[in-house]
Chain A
Amino acid sequence: AQSVTQLDSQVPVFEEAPVELRCNYSSSVSVYLFWYVQYPNQGLQLLLKYLSGSTLVKGINGFEAEFNKSQTSFHLRKPSVHISDTAEYFCAVSEGGSQGNLIFGKGTKLSVKP
């Protein structure tokens, strides 16, 4: 069965520093990968997704992620963070050939300090 592991529950970082939020998944079939962001007291919104093609995908707000099939990873990166990036980030997977329901990781809280 597929599962998603977000390796860090909390990531503190200073403003303008780079950040990487790590995500690993387990699946024996083709997968579709997503990163969602949840700002305080709000619902989730899509940052970016990988369906096929180029393994480097770019999303909103300057975020990007790289799909690495051999390492079963989909890490999220941003070269320079802002205070406004403070939020919780969720990696999610849906599996080819399934109903397509999303399996979410437990989330990573990114805290950007001035």
Chain B
Amino acid sequence: EAQVTQNPRYLITVTGKKLTVTCSQNMNHEYMSWYRQDPGLGLRQIYYSMNVEVTDKGDVPEGYKVSRKEKRNFPLILESPSPNQTSLYFCASSRAPLFYEQYFGPGTRLTVT
């Protein structure tokens, strides 16, 4: 089954404790992206990757890091989480960003206390 998986689905952590949210897709997609969803703000892009080894900032990259060493994986790293990073996070992938559908993972709900 074609899908985007994210782990963990739920995470409660404390300020400053480094964490990684994993994202993997099995569709051989070149393009991958991370979004955060906050009430009343819709989805905002954190980082994206056009292909392996090429990543770039989205609209809200502060406090986040990513890496794309393999085509299928695109982990999101929070080196020192803060309470304002409490949010619902989605990973997405696509053949290419302009014309093609983006496939979304199920989401990771992160709470930073």
Taking beta carbons and an 8 Å cutoff, which residues of A are in contact with B? 6, 9, 32, 34, 36, 41-46, 49, 51, 90, 94, 96, 98-102, 104-107
Contacts and interface: CB of A to CB of B under 8 A. Distances in A.
A99 B40 contact: no
A90 B31 CA distance: 20
Contacts of B33: 101
Nearest to B38: A106
Contacts, number: 57
Interface string B47-73: 010100000101000000000000000
Contact of B98 (A42, A44, A100): A100
A100 B43 contact: no
What 7 A-B pairs are tightest by C-beta distance, nearest first?
A100-B98, A100-B97, A43-B104, A106-B42, A104-B43, A44-B104, A46-B101
B90 A43 contact: yes
Contacts of B41: 106
A81 B31 CA distance: 34
Contacts of B44: 104
14 contacts: A32-B99, A36-B104, A43-B4, A43-B107, A45-B104, A46-B101, A90-B42, A94-B97, A99-B50, A100-B96, A101-B48, A101-B58, A106-B40, A106-B42
B111 interface: no
A34 B104 CA distance: 14
A90 B97 CA distance: 17
B98 A96 contact: yes
Contacts of B104: 36, 43-45
A48 to B, nearest CB: 10
Give the most central of B33, B42, B56, B106: most A CB within 10 Å.
B42
